[in-house]
Amino acid sequence: MARLARLNLANVPQHVVQRGNNRQATFFADEDYAVYLDKLKEYADKYQVAIHAYVLMTNHVHLLLTPSTKTGVSQMMQALGRYYVRYINQTYHRSGTLWEGRYKSTLVDSEAYFLLLSRYIELNPVRAEMVDHPAEYPWSSYHGNATDKDIALLSPHNCYKALDKNDVDRKAAYAALFNDHISEKIIEEIRHATEKSWVLGDSRFKQQIEQATGRRTSPTPRGGDRKSKEFKKAQKEKRQDK
């Protein structure tokens, strides 16, 4: 089965995941994380991509972002990937690939999933049992979104801005969201949509994306809907044709 083309639309948020080749490490020292974030900001600015949330794990990266152009994300990731691989190879006297093929991505329904996805990203170190709370992990956007630290890389999305009118109360409201548990069902939905390049959203949002792109946004049911009248009719006609 041919892999699906990525869905890219200007001004629609995306969840991007890039993993190390064979799940191997891509960050080896604090300086590596710092270099990656510095170049991420440089290329995000260059290609007009707003970064809303991120986490840099030992062997993979999650980003929640919104491009201003259809090609912004791919241009940013290509430039960032080239620079960072060259940096790692030169720094650690290695050669060859670093990342596992092309990055994964999904379009995100901001109204239904944006804040959920932002929390999902920043909770990665907690789910990995590296820390007990996202504030304890240094390489995520939680510090800029939920504490008094300012991170120049981050651009607040309208969903985030709507939490409160001023910055202090907005950060407190965002931090309070972490008191709520994200269900395993939602976590699996996020993972599946991102891994398979489907769309993370409700049926209305998916229909809008299909109309805009001409591409399916979710998998078709295997074997059809066996309870529908249309399916039963088609099966009856097949038997009659034999």
Give start and end residues of each alpha helix (H) in the chain.
Answer: 30-46, 72-91, 110-122, 124-127, 142-146, 158-161, 167-176, 184-196, 203-213, 229-241
Amino acid, single-letter form, for residue 35:
V
Specify the DSSP class assigned to residue 25. -
Beta-sheet pairing, 60-67 with 104-108: unpaired
CA distance 161 to 131: 27
Q: For the chain, give the number of residues.
A: 242
Tell me which residue has tokens 């710092």.
Answer: 34
For residues 13 and 51, give the distance between their C-alpha atoms in angstroms, rounded to a whole number: 10
Give CA torsion, residues 91, 92, 94, 96, to 10 deg: -60
Cβ atoms 200, 113 nearer than 8 A: yes
Contact 108, 12 (CB under 8 A): yes
> What's the rounded Cα separation, in Å, for the pair 155 and 175?
17
Judge contact between 150 and 144, C-beta under 8 A: yes
In angstroms, the CA 43 to CA 188 distance is: 30
Half-sphere exposure of 130 (CA within 13 A, CB side): 16
* Protein fold of 14-241: Alpha-Beta Plaits (3.30.70)
Q: Show me where the domains of the chain are located.
A: 14-241
* 157: amino acid identity, one letter: H
Mean pLDDT by 10 residues, the chain (242 residues): 76 97 96 98 98 98 98 97 97 94 94 96 98 98 97 97 96 97 96 93 94 89 52 46 38
| Direct distance between the N- and C-terminal alpha carbons of the chain, in angstroms, rounded to an integer | 29
